Structure formats: C-alpha cells, structure tokens
Amino acid sequence: MVLTYQAGGFLACFLSLPFAEMLGRKRSLILSALLFAIGASIQLVPNIGSFYFGRFIAGVGVGPLTVVGPLYLSEVSPAPIRGRCVGFFEIAYQLAGMLGFWINYGVGLHMSPESDAQWRIPVAIQLVLVGLFLCGSVLLCESPRFLIKQDAQEEARKVLTRLRRLRPDDEYITREMHDIQAELQLERHLLGIDPTLSRWQNTRRRLAECVRPQIMRRISCGMLCQLVANLSGINGINYYSPTIFKTLGVVGTNTGLFATGVYGCVKFITSIISLFWLVDRLGRRFLLLSGTAVLVFSLFFVGSYVKIADPVAPADGAAKSISGGGIAACAFIYIYVIGYVTAYGGVPYILSSEAVPLNVRAISSALGAGTLWLTAIAITKATPYMITNIRYGVFYFFGSCSFLGAIAIYFWIPETRGVPLEHMATVFGYEDEVGPKQIHITEIKSVADHGQVVEIEETAMGH
C-alpha cells in the first residue's frame, strides 16, 4: 500500500521538470494536484485493487511537487528572503505529516475498527486539502522568471507588481526585472544552449556534462544525503511508528497513535528551528554530522533497550505495562527525530541545488528527489519484516547505516555555506568552472533590498 504510493512518486519526479518548462510552474502544480485528487477519489472505492491504483496515482501527483514546489517558491520570492521562503516547503511538509498523525489518532479513538468510516475519513480529508489548494490556485501567479523566459515581459512585470505590491514603474520592479533577465542570460551561457539544435540535442549535452568526474562528485553530495537520510530508517518509523511504540511497551492502539502524534509535533517544531535559525548559522556540514550523531546514539539506545528488556512478551505478543526504561526509549525516539530533521530536513535539497553548476542544477535536483523516492521504497518495504523478525536488530541496522553514512559525509561533503556559487568548484578541489562555456563575472554588487545586479561578459577560457 505504501510502496505503490512511493513508486508513483519516484516515476513522476523525473517527468516534472520537462513539464514545468513546457507548461509553466503554476499549471504543473495544478496538474499535480488534480492527479492527487483523482488518486484520492479512487481510494474511496471499497475495492483493494482500486485502492492500490489510487495510491499509485496519488504518488504520481505528489512526486512532481517535491521538485516543482521548491522551484516555484524560489522564483516568486524576493531575493533577500528566498532561502526562508523555500524552507517553508519543508515546514509545510512536516505540518501536514503532523496533522496526518493526529487525524489517525482521532479516528482511531472515536471510530469503531469495523466501521468503514475509520479508513474513509483520513482518505477523504486528502480531498478537502487538495480542494483548498485548487481553489486557492486561482490566486497563484505564474513564475515571473518563467514568463520572462517565454519573452512575456509585460506579463512578468504585472506579476512582479502584484507580488511585491508596488507600482509597475517602481525602481524595485525595474531592478528585479533586470536581475531576472541577467540571470537568464547567464543561464544561457552556462547551459551552452544552441538555438540551431533541437531540445533533445541540448538535453543530451547537459546529460553529457553530468558524467564528468568533477560534476558527478558534486551531484553525488545531494544524492548521498538523501540516501543516508532514508537509511536512517525515517520512512519506516514514520509509517510504522504505532508498531514501533508497541515494540517499546506502549499499551493500546490509541496510546500508540497518541505517541505517534507527539512524534509528528516534534518533527514539525524541529524543522522550524533548523531551517529558520540553524542552517545558515552553523553550516550544512555541521548540521549533517551533529544531527546524524544524535540519531545514531538514539537508535543504538532504543535497540539495546528492546534487546535487554524485551518489552513485548514473546508468548502471546501482548504489550506489558511500560517501564521506566520504556519511557526513556520512547524519549529517545523523539530525540532521534530531532537529530534526523536537523541533519536531513532541508540540507539535502540545499546541497542538490547549490553544490552544482547552474547548467546541471535541475538534473541534480531531480536525481536527488529520485534517490529519496527510490530508497524510501526499499526501506518502507523492508521495515515491517525487520520489526517482526529481528525486532531490536532493526534499530541496530538503521543506526549502523547512519554511522557509516556519517563517515561518508565527513570525507565526501565539504562545507558550502557562504561560498559564492561561481566559486563552488574550489570547495571540491577543482579550478573555478561554471559549465560548458566559461564566463567572467565583471561586476556583482549588492543592492539593498533588491537582491543582486549581475553583468556578464563572455571570455574565451580553456578547460
């Protein structure tokens, strides 16, 4: 059931960028929401085959949102607060997860297990939320960057005027239009776009750039983070947290769901703190290593408790009254998720976009999202079997994978905080390079409250 949803998301995330370039950001988001609504509607049919199919379609709808959503936010946000606005995507994701946990708790508390309402209500609430999004989408603006890319200059100016609540001839609007045009001019240089070639031929040139060793190294940073994030067991714990809390001795289905709801609250609050105050102050590498250290210790503590105390009686599987050690183990599940969100709540998305040159940034984001979905499929599939068959070993397994992942991160991923994008190659031990065509930045000057003005001049520089 979970697997079909994630399979749909994995397949769809690679199709999202071409559709976003052809249809625009706004229409791509609306199309994704419609697909999700169709999938949720199919799930209401009282047939197991229809439910599986609906889950797959819902995944196809959600997959593109993990790529296009942050892209859209970055393109409509003012430059001085762009990072914080994109961070809201992760915060909204955690908020939705928290609400989902509490909805399940409420339904489990007040609905009979034999009632169809117990499973129909959580599914139907998805339609309410996606309906609100579709109604609100009439207020969405198309990305001004996309409009300028399509040579719709006046429409882009109208959109910026509406977003910034300024007059069309305001200096801020004029400067932002100039910034976007300069950025697109820079992108055309970096992408090496040849108007005489077809779209597919230009895409092949970008893909060929990705296999260069220095570019592969930088793309792999975001992919490595997504891989280690899922090997920490987060998806298994998210989906099977009631079962995991029962393993720790939490008595009763509703009590387990309540503990799961608290787990969702901890994730949500930690994501706000991490993305608003920590990531730009302490750096990406510090958060990755310190957060992973916290979750590794937590997983080994929980695994040791389950091994020694054996909180579930082996004879009949009934949960015992939770002991002081069980309470401590539950607390360490919450500490685990604090470490996880600190390390992997937003850093993998940041690295996928900032560690690579502009000419392959979109491909890097898609590969990072694809790694996230693919490993989530494997971990989610394996977790229930591991909980049943090796019990305490599941925590040791995820803790060991996270420990090895931390070693890989330590030796493979450098600190990128505060490094100008055009000099990112030096952080990875290579000479400055920005793509198939080298450019020279003749002037980058800060403009108070207006982002940056960039003037570019092409020069003949060899590799």
Contact 359, 190 (CB under 8 A): yes
| pTM for the model | 0.75
Q: What is the pLDDT of residue 156?
A: 92
Directed axis angle between helix 234-247 and helix 253-273, to 10°? 140
Q: 229-432 is classed in which CATH architecture?
A: Up-down Bundle (1.20)
If we measure between CA atoms, which residue out of 251, 217, 234, 428 comes closest to residue 327? Answer: 251
What class does CATH assign to 1-135? mainly alpha
Could you state, in order of their start, the residue ranges of all structural domains in the chain?
Answer: 1-135, 229-432
- pLDDT tens figures, 151-196: 899 999 999 999 998 998 899 899 889 888 887 777 667 666 666 6
Q: What is the pLDDT of residue 41?
A: 95
Q: What is the pLDDT of residue 444?
A: 36
Q: What is the pLDDT of residue 439?
A: 39
- pLDDT tens figures, 338-380: 999 999 987 887 787 778 776 677 788 788 888 888 898 888 8
Identical topology for domains 1-135 and 229-432? yes
CA distance 30 to 36: 10
pLDDT < 70 regions, the chain: 79-80, 82-83, 187-188, 190-199, 202, 239-240, 247, 249-257, 312-322, 358-359, 420-423, 430-463
If we measure between CA atoms, which residue out of 65, 28, 48, 33 comes closest to residue 369? Answer: 65
